């Protein structure tokens, strides 16, 4: 199926910095101006994802809060839908995507607003630390710290700690999958559900797998390498196979007993195969899992609700699935 024509028109008009064209391979990171490159990429990502929609769903309230990170406070935002209900209600802890290098609360605000509205759950979005300023495992440590914080403080926000889902797109999906696995490894309080939106579940390579579809929104071999080197590093000390950053490679035991999952995939996405492989490993371990593929969509399409009605519908569908799983619908 071809790329959705509306998204194709947007991609034709939006240009990444030359450094990250799909056919570009960045090999000598020692000569890269990390700050300049990262700043340019963050500016481009912000311009392309930040939008104000006049017809966005109305929420009861939106609150900026501070949560505990692994090494200090983190900014976060709570989205409370009009139909949140009375008493202790379910919630979704959301981690934004961006390769652990770009993205913030604002870039993914519309996803969170629409997810809260569709699920009738509070959504708590976390502004975890980014690379290259903060290398692996900083984002992963912040994700666990934020999850622990939410369970401790749940009742202060009218949240039922037994009905907290984790969710995220791309690298945020990586963090959601990691939190779920890590709680199994620790024998802790696992999330009630995991929503993985075109997740990045391995951080080793996307070039050597013979992919036909290299098109995607903010994903290409050169960009993947930049993200990986920015976060994991390079050389002997880098370990992209570490199961924390590559949960796809976790042992079978780490999949047993994981919370139910819903995995959203895109037809035009270099990460499609690994997302499906992760869903297959969940199913093989006896974890209830559903998969929804959007054949004409590109990686990151849920950030494009300003130009794509199917993107809005896809978020609504995902939100309804989470809401039914948590009992808010």
Asked whether residue 54 carries a pLDDT value surpassing 60, the answer given is: yes
Of these residues, 246, 269, 294, 308, which one is catalytic?
Answer: 269
Alpha-carbon distance of 290 to 147, in angstroms, equals 24
Asked whether residue 91 carries a pLDDT value surpassing 80, the answer given is: yes
pLDDT of residue 37: 76
CATH of the domain at 116: 3.40.50.1820
> Pairing mode, if any, of strands 89-95 and 159-169?
parallel
299 flagged as catalytic: yes
Per the structure, the count of domains in the chain is 1
In degrees and rounded to multiples of 5, residue 310 shows phi and psi of -60, -30
Task: Name the pLDDT band for 85 (thresholds 50, 70, 90).
Answer: confident
Rg of the chain's alpha carbons, rounded to an integer?
Answer: 18
pLDDT of residue 12: 61
Residue 242 backbone zone (phi > 0: left; psi -120 to 50: alpha; other: beta): beta
Q: Buried b vs exposed e over 222-252: b needs ≥16 C-beta within 10 Å?
A: bbbbbbbbbbbbeeeebebebbbbbbbbbee
Asked whether residue 208 carries a pLDDT value surpassing 60, the answer given is: no
Domain assignment of residue 264, given as a range: 5-326
Alpha-carbon distance of 100 to 174, in angstroms, equals 10
Alpha-carbon distance of 223 to 228, in angstroms, equals 8
125 flagged as catalytic: no
Alpha-carbon distance of 270 to 216, in angstroms, equals 7
DSSP designation for 26: -
Of these residues, 4, 142, 299, 328, which one is catalytic?
Answer: 299
pLDDT single digits (tens) 261-283: 999 999 888 899 999 999 999 99
269 flagged as catalytic: yes
Taking CA atoms, 195 is separated from 79, 144, 167, 210, 309, in Å, by 17, 16, 4, 28, 21
Give the list of residues 6+ apart from residue 122 with CB closer than 8 angstroms, or none.
78, 79, 80, 81, 84, 89, 90, 91, 92, 116, 157, 158, 159
pLDDT of residue 32: 52
pLDDT of residue 50: 64
Model pTM greater than 0.85? yes
Give the list of residues 6+ apart from residue 184 with CB closer than 8 angstroms, or none.
190, 254, 256, 257, 258
Alpha-carbon distance of 199 to 176, in angstroms, equals 9
Of these residues, 119, 125, 170, 328, which one is catalytic?
Answer: 170
Task: Name the pLDDT band for 307 (thresholds 50, 70, 90).
Answer: confident
């Amino acid at each position: 199926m071809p790329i959705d024509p509306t998204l194709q028109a947007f991609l034709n008009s939006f240009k990444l910095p030359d450094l990250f064209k799909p056919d570009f391979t960045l090999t000598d990171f020692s000569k890269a101006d990390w700050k300049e490159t990262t700043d340019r990429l963050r500016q481009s990502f912000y311009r392309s994802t930040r939008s104000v929609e006049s017809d966005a769903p109305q929420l009861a309230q939106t609150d900026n809060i501070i949560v505990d990170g692994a090494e200090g406070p983190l900014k976060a935002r709570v989205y409370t839908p009009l139909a949140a209900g009375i008493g202790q209600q379910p919630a979704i802890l959301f981690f934004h995507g961006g390769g652990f290098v770009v993205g913030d609360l604002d870039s993914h605000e519309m996803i969170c607003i629409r997810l809260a509205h569709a699920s009738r759950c509070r959504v708590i979005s976390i502004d975890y630390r980014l690379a290259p300023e903060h290398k692996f495992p900083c984002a992963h440590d912040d994700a666990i710290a934020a999850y622990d914080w939410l369970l401790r403080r749940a009742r202060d926000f009218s949240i039922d700690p037994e009905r907290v889902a984790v969710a995220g797109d791309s690298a945020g999906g990586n963090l959601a999958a990691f939190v779920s696995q890590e709680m199994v490894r620790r024998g802790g309080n696992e999330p009630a559900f995991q929503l993985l939106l075109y997740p990045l579940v391995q951080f080793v390579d996307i070039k050597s797998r013979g992919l036909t579809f290299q098109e995607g929104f903010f994903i290409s071999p050169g960009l993947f390498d930049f993200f990986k080197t920015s976060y994991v590093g390079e050389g002997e000390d880098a370990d992209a196979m570490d199961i924390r950053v590559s949960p796809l490679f976790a042992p079978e035991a780490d999949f047993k007993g994981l919370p139910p999952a819903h995995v959203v995939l895109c037809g035009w996405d270099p990460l499609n195969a690994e997302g499906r492989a992760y869903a297959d490993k969940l199913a093989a371990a006896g974890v209830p899992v559903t998969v929804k593929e959007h054949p004409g969509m590109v990686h990151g399409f849920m950030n494009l609700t300003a130009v794509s009605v199917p993107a809005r519908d896809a978020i609504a569908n995902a939100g309804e699935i989470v809401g039914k799983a948590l009992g808010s619908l």
